[in-house]
């Protein structure tokens, strides 16, 4: 095969094959006398649904297939994982499948790891053993299913089961190489360069570079929101459930359209823009956090004023609007898909529910207006104004480590809730 020229793939194959030799029941799904690579795509099994059941003592994973397959499952420590190697399977699972765990399983990833071979990796909440694993033939109107049953054990029992594996360090190398799994349908599988199938969350700290945003008492919005966004990134990355992409991670000017483009190019599942507003003196002393979604009619005058102010960022940063690429400049708000709006609004409500438990909110905390940065037609997007730098109390919060940590925690909780709900909705539709 041509890709043998690629050292990474060759090394990957060598590791995989060596690991395979350790366990005699491995098959990569080829018919006798046939190399796995020559199996036509149409011969690959199709996985149509995956689900979890059980609790923190016993958890079962079920994968619906269109035909029975062979498999091999093993556990790994530090972090605790269970890896299931299967022949190449076409995963036709709902977006977000595996991002939300249950019982012993925190989350799972799946995809192609080499020509002819797919893998499912379960991230465990703690040590667990594979109590049973089997493939059921189609019966009683049910499709063929792969079933993995996990049982809670203590660490010493877990380590003993690992000792039964001949070369755990080799297994770990294989699993690590497969840790980043391929996107379903990827044409050129590369063990080491495979894509990450976790949902992408884009965090967008407003302003940057020449565009300072609002300023008060020597604090620039661009710096406040960058610090906050980086803390949110760290919190989300710790969970391991999402791939987090920043529109900027330093003091750089990024045009609004570019921020939208980043979200779209990354096929983001969620876009969260972070700002901190200020009110002109004559407009009183509003306070608290506000969550904005996109709409063609501003929900009130303040929302309209704010959207205008935020949309001026490009002018401040020296972007010539007439040179904006048409794919973004031409996007009319009307084109935003209804589903995207629904998800944006749902996330905004979840954010409010989480944030109001720990953060002072504006008296009308959910608003909408024509923010350019929220205009990706296919990415649920919200803009959070953390507070008013023009308000003394809010400014004190904005620069407080404790306040930031609490607020970051609430937003991360809302993101978890959002993806849990999306998965549940997708599951119910099947």
User: Would you tell me which residues interact with Zn ion (CB under 5 A)?
Assistant: 206, 213, 275
Minimum distance, C-beta of residue 225 to Zn ion, in the bound complex (Å): 7
Beta carbon nearer to Zn ion, 259 or 275: 275
Q: Which residue is nearest to Zn ion (CB)?
A: 275
Minimum distance, C-beta of residue 166 to Zn ion, in the bound complex (Å): 58
Minimum distance, C-beta of residue 287 to Zn ion, in the bound complex (Å): 16
Minimum distance, C-beta of residue 312 to Zn ion, in the bound complex (Å): 10
Q: Which of 344, 354, 313 is nearest to 225 (CA)?
A: 313
**Rounded distance between C-alpha atoms, residue 367 and residue 382, angstroms:** 10
DSSP states of 333-361 as a string? GGGS-HHHHHHHHHHHHHHHHHHTTTSPE
Minimum distance, C-beta of residue 343 to Zn ion, in the bound complex (Å): 23
Beta carbon nearer to Zn ion, 117 or 205: 205
Tell me if the bond preceding 4 is cis, omega within 30° of 0: no
Beta carbon nearer to Zn ion, 29 or 206: 206
Minimum distance, C-beta of residue 236 to Zn ion, in the bound complex (Å): 21
Q: CA-CA distances (angstroms) from residue 53 to 56, 148, 373?
A: 10, 11, 40
Beta carbon nearer to Zn ion, 123 or 314: 314
Minimum distance, C-beta of residue 272 to Zn ion, in the bound complex (Å): 13
Q: Say if CB 215 and CB 222 are below 8 A apart.
A: no
Beta carbon nearer to Zn ion, 308 or 339: 308
Q: How many CA atoms lie within 13 A of 82 on its CB side?
A: 30
Pairing, β 289-294 against β 219-220: unpaired
Beta carbon nearer to Zn ion, 279 or 423: 279
Which residues are bridge partners to 270 per DSSP?
Answer: 201
Tokens of 398: 């904005």
Long-range contacts formed by 130-137: CB under 8 A, 24+ apart: 130/73, 130/74, 130/75, 130/82, 131/58, 133/71, 133/73, 133/84, 135/65, 135/68, 135/69, 135/70, 135/71, 136/68, 137/68
Beta carbon nearer to Zn ion, 106 or 275: 275
**Rounded distance between C-alpha atoms, residue 153 and residue 130, angstroms:** 10
* Secondary element (H or E) of residue 18: helix 7-21
Minimum distance, C-beta of residue 207 to Zn ion, in the bound complex (Å): 6
Beta carbon nearer to Zn ion, 316 or 417: 316
Beta carbon nearer to Zn ion, 111 or 213: 213
Minimum distance, C-beta of residue 306 to Zn ion, in the bound complex (Å): 8
Which residues are bridge partners to 367 per DSSP?
Answer: 292
Dihedral sign for Cα atoms in the order 195, 114, 49, 83: negative
């Amino acid at each position: 095969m041509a890709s043998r020229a690629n050292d990474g793939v060759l090394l990957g194959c060598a590791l995989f094959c060596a690991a395979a030799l350790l366990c005699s029941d491995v098959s990569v799904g080829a018919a006798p006398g046939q190399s796995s690579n020559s199996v036509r795509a149409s011969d690959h099994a199709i996985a149509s649904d995956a689900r979890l059941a059980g609790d923190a003592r016993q958890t079962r994973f079920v994968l619906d297939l269109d035909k029975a397959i062979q498999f091999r499952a093993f556990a790994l420590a530090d972090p605790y994982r269970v890896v299931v190697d299967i022949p190449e399977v076409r995963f036709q699972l709902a977006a977000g499948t595996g991002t939300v765990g249950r019982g012993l399983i925190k989350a799972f990833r799946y995809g192609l790891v080499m020509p002819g071979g797919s893998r499912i990796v379960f991230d465990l909440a703690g040590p667990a053993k594979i109590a049973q694993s089997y493939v059921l033939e189609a019966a009683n109107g049910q499709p063929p299913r792969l079933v993995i049953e996990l049982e809670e054990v203590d660490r010493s029992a877990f380590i003993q089961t690992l000792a039964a594996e001949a070369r755990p360090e080799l297994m770990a190398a294989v699993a690590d190489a497969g840790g980043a799994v391929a996107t379903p349908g990827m044409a050129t599988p590369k063990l080491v360069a495979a894509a990450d199938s976790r949902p992408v969350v884009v965090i967008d700290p407003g302003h940057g570079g020449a565009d300072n945003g609002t300023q008060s008492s020597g604090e620039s919005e661009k710096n406040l929101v960058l610090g906050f966004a980086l803390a949110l990134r760290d919190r989300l990355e710790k969970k391991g459930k999402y791939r987090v992409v920043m529109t900027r991670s330093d003091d750089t000017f990024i045009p609004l359209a570019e921020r939208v483009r980043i979200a779209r190019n990354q096929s983001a599942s969620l876009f969260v823009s972070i700002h901190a507003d200020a009110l002109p003196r004559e407009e009183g002393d509003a306070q608290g956090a506000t969550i904005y979604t996109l709409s063609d009619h501003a929900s009130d005058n303040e929302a309209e004023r704010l959207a205008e102010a935020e949309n001026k960022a490009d002018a401040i940063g020296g972007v010539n609007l007439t040179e904006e690429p048409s794919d973004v400049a031409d996007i009319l708000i009307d084109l935003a898909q209804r589903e995207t709006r629904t998800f944006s609004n749902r996330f905004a409500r979840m954010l409010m529910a989480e944030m109001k438990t720990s953060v002072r909110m504006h008296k009308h905390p959910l608003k909408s207006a024509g923010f350019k940065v929220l205009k990706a037609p296919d990415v649920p997007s919200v803009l959070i104004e953390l507070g008013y730098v023009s308000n003394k109390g809010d400014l004190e919060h904005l620069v407080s480590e404790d306040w930031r940590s609490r607020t970051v925690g609430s937003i991360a909780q809302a993101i978890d809730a959002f993806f849990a709900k999306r998965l549940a909705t997708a599951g119910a539709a099947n």
